[in-house]
Amino acid sequence: MNADWTVIDSFEGPDLDLDLWTRGTPPLPDGGMAPLEPDAQVAVGEGALTVDIPRFTLSDDSFQPADNVKFLFFSEPVELTEAGPVTFAVDIKVRNHGGDPSDVRLGMAALNVTDLRGGLVFDICGTESRLVAIHEGLAFLRGPEGAFTHTVMEPFARVGDLREFRTCEITLDRGAGTAVWTVDGERIYRVDHAEIPASVSLGFGIFTLMPIEDGVSRCLRGQGLEASWRMPRYRHGSQS
């Protein structure tokens, strides 16, 4: 890794450093915050954070964001200027427990790059057999007119899963208005003329993305997921 990266956390352990990371579960409509998955087993050490949820138990029948998020933490915001791009990166590996790993909606791990005030989201998410880019505007922060969720799979990418540690990177260029998603150096998605916020936070999370139907959550199918993250980091300027 080049010396120009700023490493947020080297994950030496033994616990998650809560001076560096803040719980990122969404605020509930009636107050408070959505909970973290109570069965999450968190291990930190030897350069990696591993979260193992053998079986998802969290769901919500009325508020979609609380139904989606099983585990989520964010770093302090990093400023984006118009002077050049900023790249956010982390190495991710995933193992699914049950379910259908080809359906990312049933359980996925992510590199999250999120504007926590304005609700813009740039994610790389995946399972042990599938990999997607997500570009999103969160309805609970942006309102219904500004909300969107685009989940994109690059069918011809040489890298299509997170079965092994993959280097996931998201590059945001506020001056150029571009967002680029890459995995192991290969571009899997790009948006031009994108709305790029003034600052974002790097996060790591585990999610489902099953829509609530007729007031009933559909996210629990007896499945779970284990994910590991290494070297969350960012750097200013173009890649060398």
Domain ranges of the chain: 6-236
pLDDT-above-70 percentage for the chain: 98
Token digits of residue 218: 């559909």
**Would you tell me how many other CB atoms lie within 10 Å of the CB of residue 160?**
18
Cβ count near 186 (within 10 Å): 13
Q: What percent of the chain has pLDDT over 90?
A: 95
Label the pairing between strands 6-7 and 48-53.
Answer: unpaired
pLDDT of residue 24: 96
CA distance 140 to 114: 14
For residue 239 the two structure tokens come to 């890649």
> pLDDT of 183-219, one tens digit each?
999 999 999 999 999 999 999 999 999 999 999 999 9
Task: Give Cα 145 distance to the centre of its chain.
Answer: 23
Which amino acid type is present at position 129?
Answer: S
Give the pLDDT score at 240.
40
Per DSSP, 22 falls in state: E
Nearest to 110 by CA among 91, 96, 97: 91
Q: Is residue 237 scored above 90 in pLDDT? A: no
Q: Domain spanning 6-236: which CATH class is it, in words?
A: mainly beta
Give the CA distances from residue 77 to residues 74, 91, 110, 114, in Å, rounded to whole numbers and listed in that order.
8, 20, 18, 9
pLDDT in tens, 80-120: 999 999 999 999 999 999 999 999 999 999 999 999 999 99
| For residue 3, pLDDT beyond 70 | no
Phi and psi of 231, rounded to 5°? Answer: 50, 60
21-42 burial code (b ≥16 CB/10 A, e <16): beebbbebeeeeebebbeebee
Residue found by looking up tokens 């998650």 in the block: 16
pLDDT value for 239: 52
